[in-house]
């Protein structure tokens, strides 16, 4: 089955053409990052307007890159939520319009379902598996039994890991989103230079908390501001990265031991992080767990990842009705076939 997938939940307008939920024929991502950077974060109204301008050309480009016409598309998959309502509506309405015009089915999937299954575009993973999703809005540990069967084992109680990275970057005067810049500086710094807190490390749950870490960086920088570029800034970034990765790895290890998981998926934008990738590799080697982390090009927001669950649902006749609406807040545990 050839699917057209569409993603507009935040600040990336993306479309992809994917065959059988496996083979990426094209994947186009138009980022609005430079526009929002001027405001230090995503401005919802601007995001919706930019999606409106970019979506049709992005879809055309995806079809052209895949060398298929719209008549070859057999189904449409789109992010239904969570995300910014106005932004989601642009992609969702377009998906419905294409489905009606072409008389093909469409299905609205959870954005994090896309991230979870991104590694399947390289190599499918056997169920069940444990998943750590780390992005700008999520830091969650899930037990995944199959498509549509997700149990949350732990989650952040405040900031997501990506959010903490971006806030730390902002404190240090770097542009939004600064996660990858902190990562670059961290690679030059000493991770033991500054002892930062490891929030909730020994609280006995699988939950995370990152807002205190950001406050610690803020206080340190207020006391003695670091200048960029410089060794002090590199050391602070390396110490921050060490604290984040330490907590993520410790909670993931606890989840592996608790569930007896044999496989681990790490996904989402922060899965691009060099320190986290290394840490997870070491952890899985030590515990004899099979690790799947997508190539960095598939970790951030893209439309191709949605085609994996989309292909499963549509090929099992799980189709969204035209009356379905977007949902800005949507818990993965509450996904059922009737909620699609």
Residue 91 touches which of ligand KG4, Zn ion, none (Cβ within 5-8 Å per kind): none
- Which positions from 85 through 144 interact with Zn ion, judged by CB under 5 A? 135
How far CA 272 is from CA of 44, 89, 119, 299, 300, in Å, comes to 25, 28, 13, 6, 8
d(CA 87, CA 49): 8
Residue 32 as a binder of Zn ion (CB under 5 A): the answer is no
Residue 269 as a binder of ligand KG4 (CB under 6 A): the answer is yes
The nearer residue to Zn ion, 159 or 301, going by C-beta atoms, is 301
How far CA 222 is from CA of 71, 172, 191, in Å, comes to 59, 10, 20
Q: Report the residue from 11, 234, 301, 311 that binds Zn ion according to the rule CB under 5 A.
A: 301
Residue 165 as a binder of ligand KG4 (CB under 6 A): the answer is yes
Site string for ligand KG4, 3-22 (x = CB under 6 A): -------x------------
Residue 272 touches which of ligand KG4, Zn ion, none (Cβ within 5-8 Å per kind): ligand KG4
Within 10 A of 97 (CB to CB), how many other CB atoms are there? 12
The nearer residue to Zn ion, 239 or 302, going by C-beta atoms, is 302
The nearer residue to ligand KG4, 105 or 150, going by C-beta atoms, is 150
Residue 273 touches which of Zn ion, ligand KG4, none (Cβ within 5-8 Å per kind): ligand KG4
Residue 166 as a binder of Zn ion (CB under 5 A): the answer is no
The nearer residue to Zn ion, 9 or 239, going by C-beta atoms, is 9
Residues that bind ligand KG4 (CB under 6 A): 10, 135-137, 162, 165-166, 177, 179-180, 183, 268-270, 272-273, 300-301
């Amino acid at each position: 089955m050839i699917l057209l997938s569409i993603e507009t939940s935040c600040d990336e307008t993306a479309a992809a053409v994917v065959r059988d939920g496996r083979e990426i024929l094209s994947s186009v991502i138009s980022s609005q990052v430079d526009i929002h950077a001027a405001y230090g974060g995503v401005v919802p109204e601007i995001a919706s307007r930019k999606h409106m301008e970019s979506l049709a050309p992005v879809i055309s480009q995806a079809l052209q890159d895949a060398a298929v016409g719209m008549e070859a598309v057999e189904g449409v998959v789109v992010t239904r939520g969570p995300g910014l309502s106005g932004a989601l509506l642009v992609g969702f309405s377009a998906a419905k319009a294409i489905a009606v015009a072409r008389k093909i089915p469409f299905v609205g999937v959870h954005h994090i379902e896309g991230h979870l299954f991104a590694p399947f575009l390289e190599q499918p993973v056997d169920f069940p598996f444990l998943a750590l999703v780390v992005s700008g809005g999520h830091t969650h540990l899930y037990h995944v039994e199959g498509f549509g069967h997700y149990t949350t084992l732990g989650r952040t109680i405040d900031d997501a890991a990506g959010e903490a990275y971006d806030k730390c970057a902002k404190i240090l005067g770097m542009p939004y989103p600064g996660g990858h810049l902190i990562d670059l500086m961290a690679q030059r710094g000493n991770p033991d230079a500054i002892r930062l807190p490891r929030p909730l490390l020994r609280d006995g749950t699988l939950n995370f908390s990152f807002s205190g870490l950001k406050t610690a960086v803020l206080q340190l920088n207020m006391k003695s501001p670091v200048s960029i570029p410089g060794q002090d800034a590199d050391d602070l970034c390396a110490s921050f990265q060490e604290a984040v990765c330490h907590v993520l790895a410790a909670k993931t290890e606890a989840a592996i031991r608790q569930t007896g998981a044999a496989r681990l998926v790490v996904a989402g934008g922060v899965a691009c992080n060099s320190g986290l990738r290394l840490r997870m590799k070491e952890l899985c080697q030590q515990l004899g767990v099979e690790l799947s982390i997508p190539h960095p090009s598939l970790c951030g927001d893209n439309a191709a990842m949605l085609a994996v669950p989309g292909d499963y649902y549509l090929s099992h006749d799980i189709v969204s009705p035209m009356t379905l609406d977007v949902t800005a807040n949507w818990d993965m545990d509450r996904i059922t076939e009737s909620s699609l």
